[in-house]
Amino acid sequence: MRASLLGGPFTFPGTDLTVRRMGFGAMQLAGPGVWGPPADPQSAETVLREALEAGVNHIDTSDFYGPHITNQIIRKALHPYREGLVIVTKLGARRPPDKSWQRANSPEELTAGVHDNLRNLGLDALDIVNYRVVGSGHGTEEGSIAEQVTALAELQQRGLIRHIGLSNVTATQIAQAQAITDIVCVQNLYNLVHRQDDLLIDDLARQGIAYVPFFPLGGFTPLQSSTLTDVAQGASTTPMQVALAWLRQRSSNILLIPGTSSLAHLRENLAAADLTLSAHALLDLDRMA
């Protein structure tokens, strides 16, 4: 696959960081339940190396994946990092021994999280850090994030973070954060059947801010639909490729980070960057919401 494809370039606003719109999400490189090491660490490293050889230069990760495991795999597979690779990580959660997902959003916890990411990735500064609002589920919940964003802005002033993003947030929270510092990306739940952020995506596009959907293929419950299957058959492709192509065509500020620990799935995902859906197919898919 030519590196010039992969959805074309996107530059995060106010930065010199330009990525191809088809990236890679590293969460699935950890073991089952995003806990502990994978059964085959060498295979995970191979997936990462092949992604970069195919032209991927945007990796999404977090030190609470594993915990620590995913970042350690990234470092082992790719360090020293090639020029132009943008690694985006996130803070706001922790994984206690019971394998649950708990909030870790005090200034002290956020600072510790930055140092964990720096250490396990082998970096002196993090390209982009998303503050992930951890609520009762994957959906957003209103509430002030001023304390957390201020803490990240202070870490940015210290040179430990270059740029700041947000995850699992509302429009109100984004506006609150923007009153404190520049926001370069927003990462929320969004896919063919979860469309609550339609207006938000359009607003961010007008500002040139990246929108990065997590669970673009449905996450722990993969997307299933007769419409999706029919469109895929008509395009001689797979349902998952159709779901990714729809996202890419939805808006030019959408960056994709499908994750996998399988080489076959990696190749399937990356091939979706070359798929252009017809106007009729897009109309059918839009009706799934």
First to last CA, the chain: 32
pLDDT digits (tens, 9 = 90+) for 226-243: 888 999 999 999 999 999
Q: pLDDT confidence of 4, banded at 50, 70, 90?
A: very low
Is residue 145 helix, strand or coil? coil
pLDDT digits (tens, 9 = 90+) for 7-32: 999 999 999 999 999 999 999 999 99
Question: Within 10 A of 182 (CB to CB), how many other CB atoms are there?
Answer: 16
Tell me the C-alpha distance between 149 and 146, whole Å: 5
Strand-pair category, 86-91 with 126-132:
parallel
Give Cα separations from 141 to 137, 162, 196 (angstroms). 9, 27, 13
**Cβ(216)–Cβ(24) below 8 Å:** no
pLDDT score recorded for residue 1: 46
Tell me the C-alpha distance between 93 and 253, whole Å: 26
Tell me the percentage of the chain whose pLDDT exceeds 90: 89
**Summary mean pLDDT of the chain:** 94
Instruction: Give the number of residues written for the chain.
Output: 289
131 is catalytic: no
pLDDT for 158 beyond 50 = yes
The Cβ-side half-sphere exposure at 23, using a 13 Å CA radius, reads: 29
Give Cα separations from 186 to 204, 205, 213 (angstroms). 8, 11, 8
pLDDT score recorded for residue 219: 61
pLDDT for 77 beyond 50 = yes
The dihedral built from the CA positions of residue 245, 249, 250 and 253, taken in this order, carries a sign that is positive
The Cβ-side half-sphere exposure at 5, using a 13 Å CA radius, reads: 13
pLDDT score recorded for residue 139: 81
Tokens of 261: 């620990």
Domains of the chain: 9-286 (3.20.20.100)
pLDDT for 42 beyond 90 = yes
Distance, CA of 194 to chain centre: 16
Q: Which among 212, 188, 110 has a CA at the least distance from the CA of 155?
A: 110
**Cβ(45)–Cβ(52) below 8 Å:** no
pLDDT score recorded for residue 216: 80
pLDDT digits (tens, 9 = 90+) for 167-223: 999 999 999 999 999 999 999 999 998 999 999 999 999 999 999 999 887 765 667
Q: Which among 106, 99, 159 has a CA at the least distance from the CA of 129?
A: 159
The pTM of this model reads 0.95
Q: 189 CB contacts (<8 Å, ≥6 apart)?
A: 138, 139, 168, 196, 197, 213, 214, 215, 219
> Which position among 65, 81, 131, 190 bears the catalytic label?
65
pLDDT digits (tens, 9 = 90+) for 125-148: 999 999 999 986 668 999 999 999
**Cβ(164)–Cβ(184) below 8 Å:** yes
